[in-house]
Every structure is written in C-alpha cells, then in structure tokens.
A and B are shown apart, each in its own frame.
Chain A
Amino acid sequence: MKIFCWIACVALTGIALSAPGGAKAEDRRSVIMANTCYSCHGADGHSVGAMPSIAGKSADYIVEALLKFRDGRKPSTVMARIAKGFTDDEIKALAKHFARQ
C-alpha cells in the first residue's frame, strides 16, 4: 500500500511535468521541422549521397551551421535559401531535437 503511494506520487509528478497538449505539440513541431531535412540529408539524417550527414552532429554544430548558412558567413548552393526559412527559436529547437537522437 505504501509502495503504491510512492509509485502513484512519482507517476503523477511525471504526468504534470510532461505537460500534455501544448508541450507535446511543441515537441512534435521539432520533429516536423527535422523531418523536412531528411528529404535531402537522408532518413534520420543519414545521407546516402553528396549532402553531408546530419545524424550524430551536436546541437552546437547544427545551430552554428544553420546560422552561418543563413547570414552567408558559410557559402552554400542551397542551404542559405533553406536556413532563411527558420527563426532563431526554430533553429535552437531543431538542434535540441537532433541532439536527442
């Protein structure tokens, strides 16, 4: 009975922390954004062609690369045009998502 209370307390805490609805939709939007990358960079970021793989790259690497593409500090053929489609917050969310993989 007492162990049940412990488990119930922790479980309820877990539910409250995961904050369903709004937070879940935000997490899913990170996934939706990452999914747009896979058409060129391969399933889950494992490229099978000339594009570099993004799987396993650190969050810092992703953020820096996208920001540099976006403002032209890093030359590109298409990535500047793509990176300009993402805000700072979206880039950070993307990087956090890739870091979790």
Chain B
Amino acid sequence: MKKISRRNFTALATSAVGVSTIGFPMLATAKSANVVIIGGGFGGATAAKYLKRFDDSINVTLVEPAKAFVTCPFSNTVIGGLNPISKITHGYDGLRKRGVKVVHDRASAIDAAGKKVSLAGGSTLSYDRLIVSPGIDFRWGAIEGAEASIVDSIPHAWQAGAQTMLLRKQLEAMPDGGVFVISPPGNPFRCPPGPGERISLVANYFKQHKPKSKIIALDPKPKFSKQGLFKEGWAKLYPGMIDYRNLGNDGKVVRVDGKAMTLETDLGDKLRGDVVNFIPAQRAGKIAQTAGLADKSGWCPVDHTTFESNIHPAIHVIGDASIASPMPKSGFAASSQAKVCAAAIAALLSGGDVSRPKFVNTCYSLVAEDYGISVAMVYDFASGKIIKVKGSGGLSPSGASDTFHQQEADFARGWYDSIAADIFG
C-alpha cells in the first residue's frame, strides 16, 4: 500500500466524514421539494421560516394577501390606547431574506388530487406538501342579526387590522359615562383569555380618561379563561366598573341589532352600548372549508405528530383551524405547532423518521400596564394524540405580590417582542 502522510490522511478523513454525516440525509432527496403555505400569520410564517431552518434546499412559497401581518396578540393594547398599530404590524422581508418566496395573493381553491393551489390572481402553485394555516372564519347567522354586514358598527376586532382601529376609534369617540358592551362566544374559539384582557385594557383606558364609564360582558359560557385571576385584578384595579354576566346570569345573547346597537339576551334583556363588541362563534378559515379539510365540527382533524390532514394526504393544517386539543387556539400554539409540522415535513421529504413532538403554550394577559397574569402548559404525544404533560403548566398563583404581577407584565411584553423576532425577524 502506498504510504500516505498523516497530514493528508487527516484532511481526507475530515472531508470524507463531513460529506457522510452532512450529506447522508440529502442524498435521499432526488430534487428540491416544493412546499406551499397558505396563510402568513403565527402558524404560516413560523412554518416558512422553520422549514428553511430544517432544510434550506426546500422551495418554500408563502401565500398571504396582506403585505404586512397585524397580530391579534397585543391588539388589545392598541384598543386600550397603549400602543400604536405599527407596534403589532410585521412585514415579510425577514422571511424573504431566508429564501422564502412570499406571494401577496389569496388562495381560492385547492386541487388535493393534483396537488395544486389556485390563486385569486390567476396563477397556480404546485406542491409536494401543502400547509394550510388560514386562521378562523366567523359563523355569521348563527345568532339572529349577527351578519357580516354589522362589522362596521359592531366590530368583532377578532382579526386584527382595520377592525382593531375601528374599535379603538369608537372608544375614543365615546363620551365619559358611556357603556361598552362586549360579548365573547362559546367554545372553542380563538384566544380564550382575549376577551378578559380586552375588558381589562378598556377598563384601564376608562379609569384614566373616562372614569364614569361602564363595561358589561355577556358570555354564554359558565366560566371563562383565567376567570379567577381576572376578577381578582378587576376588584383591585377597576372596582365597580365591570359587570360580567356568565351563562348562569343571563349572559347568553340571542339577537344582535347592528342599527340600534343592542344585544338581546335569552331572558329578554336588551342591552344597548355606546360601543358594542360582538365576537361571533368561529370555525376554521374559509379555504379550509372550501377544500374539504374541516369535519362536521367546522375544524380540521389532523395527525398530531405531523399535522397532516386526516382527510386529504399531503396537506397539513396548523394553528386555529386545526383540531389540536388540549392545546388552545392561540398564536403561541400555532407557532409551536408550525415548528413541529416543519420538522415533520423536512423529515418526510428526506426519507427520515418523524420525531415524537413537544409543544408549549404560554398565554400572557395584561390586566393593566404593570399587572400581568399567565396560563402555561407543556404538551407531549402519547396514545396517538397530544397530551398535557402531567404536573406541568397552570395559572399564575392567586394572591401574588405586586412585584410578581409587574414581572409578568414585563414578561408579556418580552414574549411579544421575542416571538415577533422568532417568526418575522
């Protein structure tokens, strides 16, 4: 055998091992795969970024009508006058810099058999894998008078942007001593603690600028998310301002009048608001419905390791539109699911094994600028579905100190800036 110098051997060995460990999974990829993502919010934008992180060779195309995404999380701070809307608005240049192709158009149809997405602008996108992350659609007409036409006078502000600004403007125009009526829907819906935070930050605004004003909540549910913690904060910070009516207290709305600005309850009580915020019952976003990805519940059943649809193969549904209980429908959960989905798709496209997933959700709510509360949970996968990890998670403690609540408020803001950077940065 010809003698080989030690230096040459090391150089050859390093390069050969380098090729084998880095290149081995890539050898299984015959050509660059195409992944199309419908929806550029917490789910879709996270999936786009993390797909490129897992495998930069994948062609990722993100379809999103809006040139910039306005987040529902922290939109209550805009409604409460604490932040400008620019604070919650994020562009897509960060994704573009990572090689994601961002198409500002709307998906109009999905050809599941042919693996094609049609866009409203006329073009067609082919995919090897499709991720559908469309958020929610509203169940208009489920309650008498609750039609899409009311949103210019009775906003839902449960999709951020113009609706956020409208509700803010209405509150600014309201005289001192006015009444704000808010009605959240029954379960399941996007962001269970959202209405509680909205009430809090409107109360905070009233306390400082319109202290004679009142807030009435009409809720068809027996209780609401973080109820104990919200009520503890409200008693301390906004005594006498908030009247929260649950199911057992005639909280169920049966009729909405967009012109008269009234909500009528089951027992016939007609409540008129100077500002009325009606949040309708929800279901998976429109494209999920038209593509046949939703079941009778109106939400999309998926595999919990890959988020692949149980109805149409090679299509994955993440975020609010998916059935991922016990995970709640939240931006954090959507982002967590997107990261798992991206890992799974990268594995599937390269012929590797799909890992057992891990998820986290933490929902921060601002009761006031210096008073935060949270609910957290860690999730794993067992017996074919997502499960809560026993002993983990839970609510902030009741009776916590002012310092604790200040820290949680600071962490709420820190969370928002960090996740925005994690997704759009």
Contact = CB atoms under 8 A, between A and B. Distances in A.
B235 to A, nearest CB: 21
A91 B232 CA distance: 35
Interface string B1-24: 110100001001100110111001
B362 A39 contact: yes
Contact of A14 (B17, B347, B356, B418): B17
Contacts of A49: 410-411, 413-418
A15 to B, nearest CB: 5
A43 B421 contact: yes
Contact of A42 (B24, B355, B380, B421): B421
Interface stretch (B192-200, B279-287, B294-302, B331-339): B331-339
Interface string A46-75: 111111000000000000000000000000
Interface in B54-88: 54
B407 A11 contact: no
Interface in B393-425: 393-394, 396, 404, 407-408, 410-411, 413-419, 421-422, 425
A32 B16 contact: no
Interface residues on B, range: 35 or more
Given A35-B50, A35-B339, A84-B392, A77 B353 contact: no
Interface in A75-101: 77-78, 81-86, 90
B294 to A, nearest CB: 27
A29 B374 contact: no
A21 B425 CA distance: 32
B357 interface: yes
A78 B339 contact: no
A77 B379 CA distance: 19
A82 B378 contact: yes
B396 to A, nearest CB: 7
A3 B4 contact: yes
A25 B353 contact: yes
A44 to B, nearest CB: 9
Interface residues of A, number: 47
B25 interface: yes
B358 interface: yes
A79 to B, nearest CB: 9
A38 B418 contact: yes
Contacts of B391: 84
Nearest to A7: B16
Nearest to A75: B404
Given A14-B20, A28-B347, A39-B336, A85 B378 contact: yes
A18 to B, nearest CB: 5
Contacts of B379: 85
B4 A51 contact: no
B411 to A, nearest CB: 5
Given A25-B347, A29-B358, A35-B339, A78 B376 contact: yes
A84 B415 CA distance: 20
Given A21-B352, A85-B389, A32 B347 contact: no
Contacts of B50: 35
A38 B46 CA distance: 11
B1 to A, nearest CB: 6
B165 interface: no
A26 B353 CA distance: 9
A85 B360 contact: yes
16 contacts: A7-B12, A7-B16, A10-B13, A10-B16, A14-B16, A14-B17, A25-B355, A38-B418, A43-B418, A43-B425, A49-B411, A77-B396, A77-B404, A78-B411, A85-B392, A86-B389
Which 10 interchain pairs have the tightest Cβ spacing?
Answer: A85-B378, A49-B414, A14-B20, A85-B392, A50-B414, A25-B353, A14-B17, A84-B392, A50-B410, A36-B360
Interface of B: 1-2, 4, 9, 12-13, 16-17, 19-21, 24-25, 50, 54, 332, 335-336, 339-340, 343, 347, 352-360, 362, 374, 376-380, 389, 391-394, 396, 404, 407-408, 410-411, 413-419, 421-422, 425
Given A20-B24, A25-B347, A78-B411, 19 more contacts: A6-B13, A10-B16, A24-B352, A25-B355, A32-B340, A32-B357, A36-B358, A39-B335, A39-B362, A40-B415, A42-B418, A43-B418, A47-B418, A48-B421, A78-B396, A78-B408, A82-B362, A84-B391, A85-B393
